[in-house]
Structure 1
Amino acid sequence: MRELGNLWKLRHQNIVQLLGYCYEIKHEVMDFCGKLVPAENIYRCLCFEYMNNRSLDKHLYDEGCGHDWQTRYKIIKGTCEGLKYLHEGLESPMYHLDLKPENILLDKNMVPKIADFGISKLIHIDQTQTATQTYLGTRGYQPPEYIENNLISNKYDIFSLGVVMIRIITGYAGYYRKDSMSSQEFIDLVHENWRKKLQATSGCVSLEAECHQVRRCVEIALDCVQDNRKERPTIGFGNLKKVIRSTESAVNTELL
């Protein structure tokens, strides 16, 4: 019911579309403390648009294989747009609180749509942070302030977004490479790996422009996973906006 309430008001091209809700009441005789009693079982169902390419976690590959850069960039861009709508496009902001590849669905054109709003929270405009005793999210996508102090804010989703972005760019295991080197070394390594792949790809529109996109996306993703939440960007400010705008003229990408 929480997910139904959260989804009912959402209308955006990068949010999975709720099509309907239905339920069935089934009358049954059940055993209760050794006695047979009449009971009602309620079966509920949410109906969503069909997403041909399933969830993003089925499409995470390292730089050397899988989808080309523009497909990955399209997924990053659309996910950022969907999260921007949740944080800034509603009368009261909504925090997703479980953003991960399994909850990003892909349609037949590989357009990403954020899904699974079962634990999302609507936040009053004057409420920037809150604490909770309820376990939220998924290990590996939770920020340090939540793990240590149960604190949630818009920076919770930003941390999760950073993890997702790195895994889109480098594959599922690529995220852990950053722990064995400096941020600059990680950026240079990913950038060089993508440059080699793009140089070998006949469909590369503009080598330098796409390499620049790769570097900027990795830099921004690392900003998003800063341990100190105050050092992370917000979805509609500064570097995260550049995720969509950094190479506008070079690749002729449709922008926000």
Structure 2
Amino acid sequence: MFALLQYNPDLSRIDCQSCLWECINDYQGCCHGKHGDIVEKPSCIFRWDLYPFFKSHPGNPPSSPPPPTAVAKANHHAPPANAQVTNGGKSNWTRTVIIAVTTSVSGLLVTGVVVLLMVRRKKKQQARQRVEGEVEDEISTVESLQFDFGTIRAATDDFSNTKKLGQGGFGAVYRGRLSNGQEIAVKRLSQNSGQGETEFKNEVMLLARLQHRNLVRLLGFCLEGVERLLIYEFVPNSSLDQFIFDSLKRANLDWNTRHKIIMGVARGLLYLHEGSRLRIIHRDLKAGNILLDSDMNPKISDFGMARLFELDQSQAETNRIVGTYGYMPPEYAMRGNFSVKSDVFSFGVLVLEIVSGQRNNLFRVGDDTEVLIGYVWKSWRDGTISNIIDSSLTSGSSTEIARCIQIGLLCVQENMANRPTMTSVLLMLNSHSFSLQVPSQPAFFIHGGAELDMPSTQDNSSRVHGVSKNEVSMTELYPR
């Protein structure tokens, strides 16, 4: 291999090095693998080939190999011809030294390029081996969670109807007891379930790596023929929607319990977004996916739709919209854009549902048809938020309730940039001295009695419900 590096004589040492590295980078980008080519910069050129395109014999000027244009570039800075006449042998000797030095530098350059490429290739191989090692560790962890189908069938009395806890869109959930006495909940996915193989594997892989008191704990899974089972810790009090949307059961949820649920869900979401070594967007946070343990502590469940983000990734988009309408922010429902702010929107809807005891769908207030978040915002704006507080709440801190309503409204703002992060939400929930901003108009706001062009939720049809007014005397319920 023959190479030539030539640069302007008036370049400083630093500029010369800079030009050298620019040539190396361009070589890697455009010419790696070529037997011969030239890289030209304003202040320097780099040429290499398989034949000696210049001669270092005294008295002979550098030869002119094809193509002529390349030689013209290479000899652009060569001494003028009359230098040989005026300086004689001294000029020839100088040229020999220059060519010898240039050849040495060129050889070092080529060697440097080769070494640099080898180092980069080695780093890529090491990174690939590290990723493969992590994947193997995860597979090993997941494989340790696999249950035998016979074990689960025995634990649920062959999936007896007497053990069935409920039936959802993805299949039935059964209560079971293992041979060691541990109680479990088993989700048996139906064969025509909307939760496919991808969602099933996604939930297993994610929950196997997550541990938090406000996330449901996955004990294992089972794959047997067409059977797909997910085995969770047993949570005795079912899901939140069974309480807050039931006129009798929600009377048992005093404000302290509701506030504890709000705080627990916020902590669980913060862990998903920032607290673990992963960044996870749940994408289907709703009352039906919040389970309650024996002490009414909330546990976020159902991670089949969740997406894993890079730690420095802020948002993504998809053509496949999944989740539950009513909890989806507009940028996701309409354009498929999702981020941590998508979960923040869902959390805001959940907070307003917990305070009001109403689902976020259409209901009638007088002669007008409203959506919950729009009705709450109008009531907050008009200083009449006592209208939207659940009538079964007969006690509780009026200041705390009003603060939670305002935080919920901040989370459901139409512009996702205006929504707080879950870190800010927890600060606002924990500290009454933390100043709250004025919420702007929420998404899917209905003006007057106009109809809302929005799909119904998975959980409900578009039925219009009435709303009762909370007659309890409350103070400090006005926007600040």
How far does the alpha carbon of each residue in 1:22-66 deviate from its partner, in whole angstroms, 9 at most, with x for none? 232xxxxxxxxxxxxxxxx3422111011111011101157x934
1:167 to 2:353 alignment: yes
Q: Which residue of structure 2 aligns with residue 254 of structure 1?
A: none
- Matched length: 221
Task: Select which of 213, 228, 234 maps to 1:44.
Answer: 228
User: What code does the residue aligned with 1:189 have?
Assistant: I
2:283 is paired with a residue whose SS is coil
Q: Which residue of structure 1 aligns with residue 99 of structure 2?
A: none
Q: 1:19 to 1:212 in 2, by over 3 A?
A: same
Q: 1:94 to 1:194 in 2, by over 3 A?
A: same
Post-superposition shift, 1:193?
4.7
Q: 1:109 to 1:196 in 2, by over 3 A?
A: closer
Q: Which residue of structure 2 aligns with residue 252 of structure 1?
A: none
> For the Cα contact (< 8 Å) 2:355–2:389, is it kept in 1?
no
> For the Cα contact (< 8 Å) 2:240–2:288, is it kept in 1?
yes
Task: Select which of 240, 244, 254 maps to 1:56.
Answer: 240
**Within 5 Å, which residues of 2 pair with 1:1-256?**
1-24=201-224, 41-61=225-245, 65-173=251-359, 176-180=371-375, 182=378, 184-185=380-381, 188-190=384-386, 193=389, 197-198=393-394, 201=395, 210-237=397-424, 239-246=425-432
How far does the alpha carbon of each residue in 1:206-226 deviate from its partner, in whole angstroms, 9 at most, with x for none? xxxx21110111000000000
Matches of 1:196 and 1:7 in 2, distance apart?
36
Q: Which residue of structure 2 aligns with residue 27 of structure 1?
A: none
Matches of 2:306 and 2:409 in 1, distance apart?
24
User: Which one has more relative contact order, counting CA pairs under 8 Å at least 6 apart?
Assistant: 1
Q: 1:103 to 1:158 in 2, by over 3 A?
A: same
User: What code does the residue aligned with 2:229 have?
Assistant: C
> For the Cα contact (< 8 Å) 1:60–1:66, is it kept in 2?
no
Matches of 2:383 and 2:269 in 1, distance apart?
24
Post-superposition shift, 1:188?
3.8
Q: Which moved more, 1:180-189 or 1:87-96?
A: 180-189
Q: 1:70 to 1:129 in 2, by over 3 A?
A: same
Post-superposition shift, 1:246?
2.9
Percent identity between the two aligned chains: 38
2:259 is paired with a residue whose SS is helix
Matches of 1:111 and 1:143 in 2, distance apart?
26
Matches of 2:373 and 2:227 in 1, distance apart?
45
Matches of 2:227 and 2:289 in 1, distance apart?
23
Matches of 1:188 and 1:121 in 2, distance apart?
39
Q: Which residue of structure 1 aligns with residue 142 of structure 2?
A: none
Q: Which moved more, 1:7-16 or 1:146-155?
A: 146-155
Q: 1:240 to 1:227 in 2, by over 3 A?
A: farther
Post-superposition shift, 1:170?
0.5
Matches of 1:196 and 1:47 in 2, distance apart?
35
Matches of 2:284 and 2:301 in 1, distance apart?
9
Post-superposition shift, 1:172?
2.2
1:22 is paired with a residue whose SS is strand
How far does the alpha carbon of each residue in 1:188-237 deviate from its partner, in whole angstroms, 9 at most, with x for none? 42389579944xx5xx6xxxxx2111011100000000000000000012
User: What code does the residue aligned with 1:6 have?
Assistant: L
> For the Cα contact (< 8 Å) 2:356–2:389, is it kept in 1?
no
> For the Cα contact (< 8 Å) 2:263–2:426, is it kept in 1?
no
What TM-score do the two structures reach when normalised by structure 2? Answer: 0.43
Matches of 1:92 and 1:213 in 2, distance apart?
32
Post-superposition shift, 1:91?
1.7
> For the Cα contact (< 8 Å) 2:264–2:298, is it kept in 1?
yes
> For the Cα contact (< 8 Å) 1:194–1:211, is it kept in 2?
no
Matches of 1:88 and 1:135 in 2, distance apart?
24
> For the Cα contact (< 8 Å) 1:6–1:117, is it kept in 2?
yes
Post-superposition shift, 1:183?
5.2
Q: Can you give the 5+ residue segments of structure 2 that lack an aligned partner in the other structure?
A: 1-200, 362-370, 434-480
User: What code does the residue aligned with 2:346 have?
Assistant: S
User: What code does the residue aligned with 1:4 have?
Assistant: V
Matches of 1:177 and 1:186 in 2, distance apart?
15
Q: 1:19 to 1:193 in 2, by over 3 A?
A: closer
What TM-score do the two structures reach when normalised by structure 1? Answer: 0.78
Matches of 1:98 and 1:192 in 2, distance apart?
25
User: What code does the residue aligned with 1:236 have?
Assistant: T
User: Following superposition, which runs of at least 4 residues in structure 1 exceed 4 angstroms of deviation?
Assistant: 191-197
Greater radius of gyration (CA): 2
Matches of 1:42 and 1:127 in 2, distance apart?
36
